[in-house]
Amino acid sequence: MFLVPLESNPEVMTAFLHKLGVPKKWGITDVYGLDPDLLAVVPRPVLAVILLYPLRNEYEGIKSIDNNATKDIVKEEIDGVYYLKQYVPNACGTIALLHSVANNTDVIHLENDVLKKFLEETQKKNPDERGNHFMNAQGLLDTHKESALEGQTEVPSEDTPVNYHFVAFVHKNGILYELDGRKDGPIKHGLTTPDTLLEDAARVCKEFMNRDPEEMGFTVVALTALNE
């Protein structure tokens, strides 16, 4: 099973989340740059940061940016961290959004809809079981397909290779986690707080960008409160 990829477009992603039952006070906001003055204009609070980055052959198989002691993949269950494996090609955008919301349900009070049902059904499952459950979550998949057709770029066929990938960054228990459904588990990136999540995630995004400084295909968005 292949999906048409979700576009990194705040309007499309916000509409997608609202269709899934996320209250309209929350949505996806552009992060126009990673310097302090541009981060300062992002609406607060910031609940998650999502990075879209280009895949390169040399990136494949990398377990973290440096895979050193300060950026460890955590294979065991982490209290409070919701993580699922990605088994559906081109679903990384939806999974990044799912990771972003699922790890903030103490703040985001989901309406009784598709996503709330999915999270309730998978809360006690392990990451592999959650990934398999996602493959059969027809409500989520149908909403993804509908939203993937609403972007501004030309829609590729389902079997067209996509050379970009979404990952999410969230705060849990004082730790910044990178959640990438293709990895063996969440990746620790040091300490953070709800107030400094955006700045700390921006630091990690810069590390991704430094791997390929000539590449312009990086996009950063954030799950935030929406300005009324």
Least confident of 93-102, 105-114, 124-133, 151-160: 151-160
Arithmetic mean of pLDDT, 104-120: 95
Active site amino acids? 92, 165
| Per-residue confidence (pLDDT) for residue 217, from 0 to 100 | 85
| Per-residue confidence (pLDDT) for residue 145, from 0 to 100 | 87
Highest mean pLDDT out of 60-69, 112-121, 151-160: 112-121
Question: Are residues 140 and 94 in contact, defined by beta-carbon separation less than 8 angstroms?
Answer: yes
Arithmetic mean of pLDDT, 179-183: 96
Question: Are residues 148 and 2 in contact, defined by beta-carbon separation less than 8 angstroms?
Answer: no
Given a cut of 90, whether residue 150 has pLDDT beyond it is no
Residue ranges of domains in the chain, CATH in brackets: 10-225 (3.40.532.10)
Given a cut of 80, whether residue 82 has pLDDT beyond it is yes
DSSP 159: T
Report the chain's mean pLDDT, rounded to a whole number.
87
Q: How far apart are CA 19 and CA 148, in angstroms?
A: 13
| Per-residue confidence (pLDDT) for residue 67, from 0 to 100 | 41
In sequence order, which residues have a C-beta less than 8 Å from that of residue 38 and are 6 or more positions away? 31, 32
Residue 169: both structure tokens together:
């960054």
Q: How far apart are CA 86 and CA 132, in angstroms?
A: 8
Given a cut of 80, whether residue 157 has pLDDT beyond it is no
- DSSP codes, 105-131: TTTS---SSHHHHHHHHHTTS-HHHHH
Arithmetic mean of pLDDT, 147-174: 75
